Amino acid sequence: MRTYRVEITETLQKTVEVKANSRKEAEEKVEDQWKNCEHVLDAENFVGVEFKAISESRNRDYVK
């Protein structure tokens, strides 16, 4: 039997409102707020999951 490494990627998403003079400024403000833990995403913000096999390992002692 082979051993596989499977990567699990969970996606969390939240929309917040911020006042700014431009889209770029708005993104920078929210990024700074997020870095300062003003916006913490948790299970309530879950929107999806993806599973992807990223490699296969073979047992060196395996004989066909």
User: What total of structural domains would you count in the chain?
Assistant: 1
| Whether the Cβ atoms of residue 56 and residue 7 lie closer than 8 Å to each other | no
Query: Is residue 64 one of the residues assigned to a domain?
Result: no
Spell out the residues 6+ positions from residue 9 whose beta carbon is closer than 8 angstroms to its own: 49, 50, 52
Range(s) of the domain holding residue 16: 3-57
- Tell me what pLDDT residue 61 has: 58
Residues with pLDDT less than 70, the chain: 58-64
How much is the pTM? 0.72
Is 63 part of a structural domain of the chain? no
